[in-house]
Structure 1
């Protein structure tokens, strides 16, 4: 048998058994795709030879240790940037091997395999012999791991860990991929069995509170309200909903309100089999509605055998008010706030004001009131009194309940709109200390970073927001924008495909869903598939939205697609619909409008916009 000196690379997928248990077909498909599109081509590029494939692992021979380590680094830098991609551990050793035909044996191979087992997820671990050959010759910093005794090897081995030099965004992705996957659950809108359509807000409110409570459990991935409420009023099949939303479990239920009593039914269903895992019916006084919500949440968590931290449990058990009428008004206000149009924002504001009159200690109602005022100022008005009121009301919410994360998020948004970025960040970071799963805090941090043109920090914030609400369109849209500016093409394509899938799913349920249409168009454009974006943009035109945010985003999409005439047209519509002049500065450097800004008509529009505000 032949002996020779060789550099051996050993690679293995992190958490492969768990991935196979959760989704065997999908995992095998991902493994095949990564081998064909990533692993094999990069190995070939660096003159490597794959001599053994073992399930989810691979052994590769190189004539040069430098080639082996460069190959390992390139593979890891590529994979950790792919949204939802596989995560590898890699070990590299330079040593004596025994050659038997196309196969290899001996300590040179064994040490590489042992190094792989102690490598950090998404990183590369080297033996001392490999390090001695590559030090100063590859684009990577190394951390001395000391001398380690490895399994079944008599002599200790010097160990070095490669610090993969990627962006903060990519490092965060690698860390997240190495963590245990959360169980996904969709809470469908509870049916209103009261026989009164005006009570619809109440059943919706119960649903939203359960969504909010379950979202506080870090081991659960809760599908967002926007996606689950698209099924409202429809005859559904649980297995189809589960497949559409990517939810392992589905909760459905009903609410019947009569006089001062309420009946709530809820059932937890396995998305794959349709089997019931838990069900309960509650007949209570209206004042006991918070106990019912807590009990539903607790039983779902117990049925799924999910761990819940004491801090999370305390947040769920918090009673926001003892005044049911104030809570009822707050539900109505929140229902209108979600619709985000001018008319309903003013109605919601009045409802929240009525709620705090009934209960002056209702912190969550003050937070909702502040959010109404901030949103009106942000999208529909240049009147500074709105943001001043938002500061006052969110500060009151924090004063009443310093541990309410929503209150700190509201105050953070208000500070941002007032131009105090440091105070805004401090409040939003405090909100995340209290609730690490608070979507709004991540979203607002993204907006602040984007305004400061810190695209990398913005990408990290939007990525986290999209993790909390995996099916959220807006965070993925903003993430595409950031990744485009950062030049991270691999991540951009991955996120664009994800956003496109979400948009297509939502359009199946509502063909006039304007955000789904323009986000789908953005996704195609970011993938340099402009021709495929054009039908989406034509569809958007047919809707004839009067919302200034929608028309502005369509102007951006047309600009990126190269149609300046349409971009100017939709910019005009946005301004006429009331887009605040405060947003003018953003239009002057919004990267999406780069082509349109070169047209003389853009300057005329800006001038008209300024004059309109005078």
Structure 2
């Protein structure tokens, strides 16, 4: 049942807090604290009781609770939550009451932005038209009211004579955006149209002829007009979405677009090619926050591929810190910060940063995927599965990490048969998931399959003991008992050979 208090409504089933201006960004732990306070208004709830309810079986520093209380006070009128020194906290706002049942909310408008055609006659300029497309996807993605398909899936239709209705059906969306870009010398022409897929009716269309340094204004106007046209179906704070100019250096921006094209694959061999372009971009414009943020993401992502060297996490944190000093709302700066803290086993700091990244761009599938891993490693696999499903809904054509991440989460949840089915869909199972696949086969009583996989893992890590292999590939759980169990299973399988 929902609770109303003052101008606020707490929706328990959806784990959502609504304020006077719509949904409010609230981390999972802060939500749980607020629920406890509202259920017992005017009653002092001790810190120990809050720790036991919100962080069961975990040892958490006291200032972690203070961080979440401070976050609540920033969202709500500060006087609603009172500190009773030496005892705990209590809710002291308007009396909460059970809210009347609401009619189901209409579904959010769903949108796919297809890659804009490069009309410049030079294939080398694809990065520019692709970059404009990706910028528009990213800006629309900041509207929580919309479901926006990610670039990896919408770019499956690049260079094809697409039937709009068929594309919309394949991507599961109501609206499609198409466009083209012609860049000649220092001028650019952008043409764009918004189409209702059900009727193939053109809802809005426009073309822009501008100087190249007006490209940011063009992108903003396109984004605002698309949002305005869909505002009847969603409460959209259009006026509040205007963004600052990311850079005045167009050469830096072009380096950034080239990097963006490479980094969007999330494949290491391609992602690492993005780094020199980003380094050049921040050299040309040291105040280019988006370039610093993307560079911090590229730096931390190396951790997956270079034998978990923590040095890249620390260097990624430093770059992210620069990005967020320049622009506190750079989602990928918060993503890189959360990613680094997660794999440095600083779980509370990771949660704060990843929640902020999702709040800033709730449609980015990689941000959602990394938060799913955080939920998994902090013993919330059921929530993690919801998150990874949300990520895939936004990027249904992406390959690689979904089945891998889902297999990791299902193994944690003890759903071993479902986990093996995920790994069976992958062309190559990476070493970190081979360890989990051994666990799955062992727990299912499939000892021969587990032994075959263990032999492959040992050959890959020639010279390492089994406990060292688990420590290298798996030991990212907040609860050490998980990895202890995995080590015991591998040792048992090894002794049965």
Determine whether 1:392 maps to 2:286.
Answer: no
Q: Per chain length, whose mean CA-contact separation is higher, i.e. which structure has more relative contact order (CA < 8 Å, sep 6+)?
A: 2
CA deviations on 1:208-244 (whole Å, 9 max, x unpaired) are: 1111111122221111222111112223211111111
CA contact (8 A) 1:333 1:352 kept: yes
Matches of 1:558 and 1:235 in 2, distance apart?
Answer: 45
Classify the secondary structure of the residue corresponding to 2:210: strand
The structure having more radius of gyration, on CA atoms, is: 1
Determine whether 1:215 maps to 2:141.
Answer: yes
Residues 115-264 of structure 1 aligned to structure 2 (within 5 Å): 178-264=104-190
Distance 1:574 1:275, change over 3 A: farther
Matches of 2:235 and 2:206 in 1, distance apart?
Answer: 21
1:322 to partner: Cα distance: 1.6
Matches of 2:189 and 2:235 in 1, distance apart?
Answer: 27
Partner of 1:582: 472
1:419 to partner: Cα distance: 2.5
CA deviations on 1:558-583 (whole Å, 9 max, x unpaired) are: 8757533663476468769xx99732
After TM superposition, which residue ranges in structure 1, 4 or more long, deviate above 6 angstroms?
Answer: 470-473, 590-597
Classify the secondary structure of the residue corresponding to 1:317: coil
CA contact (8 A) 2:131 2:261 kept: yes
1:396 to partner: Cα distance: 0.6
Distance 1:581 1:375, change over 3 A: farther
| Residue of 279, 295, 298 corresponding to 1:353 | 279
CA contact (8 A) 1:329 1:352 kept: yes
| Residue of 252, 263, 287 corresponding to 1:326 | 252
Residues 177-576 of structure 1 aligned to structure 2 (within 5 Å): 178-306=104-232, 307=234, 309-310=236-237, 313-437=239-363, 439-459=365-385, 461-462=387-388, 465=391, 474=401, 478=405, 482=409, 525-526=417-418, 537=424, 550=430, 553=433, 560=440, 562=446, 563-564=449-450, 567-568=453-454, 571=457
Distance 1:181 1:481, change over 3 A: farther
TM-score (ref. length: structure 2): 0.66
CA contact (8 A) 2:227 2:236 kept: no
Partner of 1:47: none
1:551 to partner: Cα distance: 6.2
Matches of 1:591 and 1:192 in 2, distance apart?
Answer: 54
Gaps of 5+ in 2: 1-12, 15-96, 463-468
Matches of 1:341 and 1:246 in 2, distance apart?
Answer: 26
Distance 1:485 1:553, change over 3 A: closer
| Residue of 597, 600, 606 corresponding to 2:494 | 600
Gaps of 5+ in 1: 1-79, 82-159, 163-173, 493-521, 604-614
CA deviations on 1:95-151 (whole Å, 9 max, x unpaired) are: xxxxxxxxxxxxxxxxxxxxxxxxxxxxxxxxxxxxxxxxxxxxxxxxxxxxxxxxx
Partner of 2:94: none
1:592 to partner: Cα distance: 10
Classify the secondary structure of the residue corresponding to 1:319: coil
Classify the secondary structure of the residue corresponding to 1:186: strand
CA deviations on 1:318-372 (whole Å, 9 max, x unpaired) are: 3211211111111111211122333323221111111111111111111111111
TM-score (ref. length: structure 1): 0.54
Relative to structure 2, which stretch is displaced further, 444-453 or 248-257?
444-453
CA deviations on 1:430-467 (whole Å, 9 max, x unpaired) are: 33454555555443332223223332443454455456
RMSD across aligned C-alpha pairs, in angstroms? Answer: 4.0
